[in-house]
Every structure is written in structure tokens, then in C-alpha cells.
Amino acid sequence: MTQTTRNIIIFIAAFVIMGGLLATINLETTDQTDLATLANRVQSNEVTSLTIRGDEVEAVFTDGSTNKVTKEPGDSLSTVFSNYGVDPEKLRSIPTEVKEPSGFSYWASLIIPNLLPILLLGVLFWFIFRQVQGQNNKAMQFGQSAGHEIQKDAKDKVTFKDVAGVKEAKEELLEVVDFLKHPDKFTKFGAKIPKGALLMGSPGTGKTLLARAVAGEADVPFFHISGSEFVEMFVGVGASRVRDLFVRAKKSAPCIVFIDEIDAVGRQRGSGMGGSHDEREQTLNQILVEMDGFEPNAGVIVIAATNRPDVLDPALLRPGRFDRRIVLDPPDINDREAILKIHAKKKPLSKNASIRKLAERTPGFSGADLANLMNEAAILAVRRNKTSVTEEELLESIEKVMLGPERKSHVLDEDEKKITAYHEVGHALVAHLLPHSDPIQKVSIISRGRAAGYTIKTPTTDRKMRRRAEYVEELSMMLGGYAAEQIIFGDVTTGASSDMKETTGLARNMVTQWGMSTLMGPRVYGEREDMIFLGRDIHENRDYSEKVAEKIDDEIDKLISEALQRAKDIITDNRDAMDRVSLKLLEVETLEREAFMEVVAIPPANPNNVLKKEKKEVTE
């Protein structure tokens, strides 16, 4: 039951109870028979005196007995009695005393009917107020307890040992550790210790981890807040939170203040839109004020992290603020091996499992992906009741991390299966027969994530740059599935839709961003800019004319149609291989590299992709 429904129920209950109370009060009305009797006795001269107290009438009779009767409120006694046919003369002859009404019930009967609605309203307001305040309170507490603190002797302390790869970043940060540990060493030489360092790197490269490791190495407290936390706050709360954080930090200096995802608040000012923009600016301003406010040697070092250094406000990067800028590169093969080893530590790996092989097969994986991969493999091993994590689980987890979990329940019917098989083999065969392509690692028609089937190529080296020729072939390879469907079945399915999206995106980038179209020349068309409050949408600032837009479209068309033609040619020319591999794939559902090469039985166009006889390591 949610809070709201509970409140509503309490309300209704309160209403019913109060309503009931009200009803009983009103029910306490005149006793008509007694009033009639009294009237009769007045008429027959049996009453010696009357006392009126509000609506209560007390009569003393000739025989000495008394009786209390309540009359209708409002009406006077004479009216009531005359209604009962009492002679007014008779009534007048009876000595009557009128007393101030008193007693709780009288007052209650007077006040409660008037007070109750007000009371109810009060309760209602109290409930509403409490609810609103509850939410408010959270924000208030946010403002007060600025950030999270990790004590220097925390149990799960992280040091540089826990961070693999990112060698240059570690070296630079070693200097920061030194500043924190031996500030006097530097101040003796009149050197100003930098106040801030900015960690830049794509998501999952270990920025947060590294910042914590600096605190761990220097053995100082670590205060951290995340820029994204500010976004949800009320105006003014973010700034006050920053203020409080720095107050606390200065008290525990030397220490590290870590502002994660600073791009959430530190975007260029004046480029946003919408109301909450103010909040962001205030928060950012407060960060700047605080950074300027403390002495360079106060022992507080601010580390910030971002994966979007390009959108940061230049004010953040001015000297005296984040003037150390540290780039975290994505891991290369050796880094990947080292990261995998760190995360394999507490997991029982079987002897056959080669971490190196895993590192080879995971180009493009970030540190976070690799950590995730190790974890998935361990979970898989547990589920299979194995005594250790074997290579089987490790390799399977690569695909799980890359494409999402296998969807066994997503059963394709025979037709769909056939189309999927030809589609995937289309990709694989085209790649296999293009001179710059990477070797095919795996072809499968087992659904994963959103894909019905998948083809994995693994680059043999870690490349930082790509050539136009490679991208042109990439387009053909991406259209291989579409081409196969068209040639084999004379029709296309929705299975090719994401391929088309990627192809179009790549072709557009080639033309407009990378200068890979001779006609359009070495120029960037359209400045891309994030519209912050429209989610992740990228808004393109069109800085070219309608005529140029047409030319761009033509160039994209040309790239795509040429790529498609090339893919179709390859498939038509190798129809035998197409059928052979597809049929095999339908039968076994997944072809690993070796099996694929065997069934294709055509040497790859790229000589680097020839299957080398793997040395089987024999250990005795």
C-alpha cells in the first residue's frame, strides 16, 4: 500500500467517525412524550415551579417529585406548551426561573457542529502539508548533508593497485598524492599546489575508481558528490550543498573533494534553456566561488570527472581551478588483461581459462565492461554448478555484455530462421571477402538483446585511427544482411532496420564530419550541439545552405548505393558459399571462427585474417 492510499483511507475513516459523532449529538433531541406529559400536568395544575436552563426544563410537582424534560432548541417554553394546548394563563401562574444554561453537553452541542468542519479541514491541510514537507525535507537534508564522505580508514579502501591500465593518468595523480602527503615539500620552494584536477575519459574507464584510489593512496578522507544529483534539486539547494561540502572538507583537510559527472552542472553557461537552468548555473557558480575561496595550500584538492570535456564551461578550466587535466584512455589489450586479472582475483578460474585470450577478444570494452564480464562469467558458472569459472563461461559472457542476454524464448519460426541465417551470413561473407575487414569471430542466429542474430568481427589490433577505405567497406559489410535478403528472397524484412540506421549514420559522418567525400571536401558541415534539456538529443546547427544540404544528401546516397552494390556483387558471385554457410548455420545455430572458415572454404580477402594454426599449449 502506498503512502497516498493509506492517507486516503485514514481520511475516509476520520470522516466516518466524525460524521457519526455529529449524528449522535443531533440525535440527543427532545423527549416528546415527557414534554407532552409535562404539558398535561401543567394543564391539570400539578406543577408548582419550573426552572429553564437552556433547552432543559425542570419541573417540581405538587407531590414533591421533580422531572427534567428537554424541549426543542430555539422555541420558547410558552410556544411549546401552547402547541400542546396549555392555557397561557396557567403557565403564567407557575413561578418560572430562567437560569444560565451550563454543562458540557450544552456547550458541546453548540460548538461541535460548528467546529467540526473546521477541524476536518485542519486535518486535511495537515496531511497535505506533511506530504509536501516530506518531499521538501529530503531536498533540505540533501542541502545539509552535503555529499558523501568516505573515511580514510574505510574498509573497502581503493588504491592504485586496484586500477589497471591508465598509466599516464596514474603518474599524474601520483603528484597529487604527493601534494596531499607532503605539502611542505612544495611550499618550501614557493610552489603553489594546484587546487583541482579534471579527469576526462569515456564512460567506464575508471574515473570514479581512480579518484577514490588517489584518496586511498594519500590516506585522506574523500568527499564526493555527483553533478547529476544536483539536477533533481530545488533552486538554491545545489549551491548550498556545495557550500556545506567545502565547509566540511576544509575542516578535515588534507582531503579530496570529488565532483563526479561535473558536466551535468558545469556545462557552458548561457547555452541551455528552461527553468532549471538557473539552478545549474548557481551550483556551478558556487563551485567556482568555493574553489577560488580557499588558499592554494589549504590541503583540499578538488578532483572532477567528466566524459564530456567538450561541453564544459571555460570558466572551470581557467588557471587556479582545474588546471590539471588528465585523460583516461580506453584500455588497450595489455590493460584489458590487467583489468581482467584484477577482477578475476576472488573468482576461482579454471586452468584452461586464458585471460589473455579474453583480452584479445574484447577490443572496445571499457574497464567497467570488463568488470561486468568477469561478474557475468562467475554468475554463469554458479548457475551451472561448476567448481570454477571456465573459458566457456568467459567467452559466453563477452556476447552477453556486448549484445545483451540470450533470448531462448524468442523462438523464430522456420521462415524467420532461414531469413535470419542468410542475413547474418550475408554480413559475414561480405566482411570475409573485403580486403580491409577484421576476421569473423562468430556468426549466430540465437537472439540476443534486440537482435535476431549477430555476427562478430574482432579487430586483430587496437586501432586509434580508421581509414576511408575501411569505412567504405564497413558500409558494405553493414548492408550485407540487407543485400542477402534482397538477393535470396527478393524481399527485405524489418530485421535490417538497425543496420540501415547505422549505415546512414556512418555515411553521414563520413561526408559531414570526417571529410571523406571528395566532392564535399575537408570541411565540417553542421556544428553539433547538445540540447541539454531535451535529453540526449543532439541538435545540429545547420551552418550550410539548402543547396549544400542537397549535395550532402547526394553524397550519402552515393556512398550507400555503391556499398550496397558491392555487397550484392559479393553475394551473387559467391552464391554457393552463401547457401553452404547458411544451411550449416541453420543446423548448428552458431558458428565459431574455425567452423566458419571451414565451411566458407574460400580464403579471406584480408591476408591477416587467415586462420593461423593455434599452438596448442601442452603442459604436463
Largest CA distance in the chain: 133
| CB 364, min distance to Zn ion, A | 18
Q: Which does 499 bind (CB under 5 to 8 A by kind): Zn ion, Mg ion, ligand ADP, none?
A: Zn ion
Residue 262: name the closest of 287, 311, 230, 227 by CA. 227
Q: Which does 165 bind (CB under 5 to 8 A by kind): ligand ADP, Mg ion, Zn ion, none?
A: ligand ADP
Interface mask (CB under 6 A) for ligand ADP, residues 122-141, using x and -? --------------------
Q: Judged by CB under 6 A, does residue 339 bind ligand ADP? A: yes
C-alpha cell at 247: 565547509
Q: Judged by CB under 5 A, does residue 574 bind Mg ion? A: no
| CB 406, min distance to Mg ion, A | 29
Q: Judged by CB under 5 A, does residue 306 bind Mg ion? A: no
Nearer to Mg ion, 208 or 517 (CB): 208
Q: Which does 443 bind (CB under 5 to 8 A by kind): Zn ion, ligand ADP, Mg ion, none?
A: none
Peptide bond into 95 cis (omega under 30): no
Nearer to Mg ion, 263 or 393 (CB): 263
Among 261, 279, 393, 424, the one annotated catalytic: 424
CB neighbour class for 103 (10 Å; exposed up to 12, middle 13-18, buried from 19): exposed
Nearer to ligand ADP, 302 or 472 (CB): 302
- Using CB under 5 A as the binding rule, the residues of this chain from 200 to 259 that contact Mg ion are 208
Query: In the structure, how many helices (H) and strands (E) does the chain have?
Result: 22, 15
Q: Which does 203 bind (CB under 5 to 8 A by kind): ligand ADP, Zn ion, Mg ion, none?
A: ligand ADP
**Whether residue 424 lies in the annotated active site:** yes
C-alpha cell at 388: 570454477
Q: Judged by CB under 6 A, does residue 418 bind ligand ADP? A: no
Instruction: Look at phi and psi of residue 103 and say left if phi exceeds 0, alpha if psi is from -120 to 50, else beta.
Output: left
| CB 602, min distance to Zn ion, A | 21
Q: Judged by CB under 6 A, does residue 221 bind ligand ADP? A: no
- Using CB under 6 A as the binding rule, the residues of this chain from 363 to 382 that contact ligand ADP are 367-368, 371
Q: Judged by CB under 6 A, does residue 164 bind ligand ADP? A: yes
Instruction: Look at phi and psi of residue 168 and say left if phi exceeds 0, alpha if psi is from -120 to 50, else beta.
Output: alpha
Q: Judged by CB under 5 A, does residue 476 bind Mg ion? A: no
CB neighbour class for 428 (10 Å; exposed up to 12, middle 13-18, buried from 19): buried
Are the C-beta atoms of 198 and 232 separated by less than 8 Å?
no
Kindly report the three-state secondary structure assignment for every residue of 113-182. Answer: HHHHHHHHHHHHHHHHHHHHHHHHHHHHHHHHCCCEEECCCCCCCCCHHHCCCCHHHHHHHHHHHHHHHC
Q: Which residue number has the CB closest to Zn ion?
A: 481
Nearer to Mg ion, 208 or 362 (CB): 208
Residues at the site binding ligand ADP, with contacts judged by CB under 6 A: 163-166, 201, 203-209, 305, 339, 342, 367-368, 371
The catalytic site residues sit at: 424
Residues at the site binding Mg ion, with contacts judged by CB under 5 A: 208
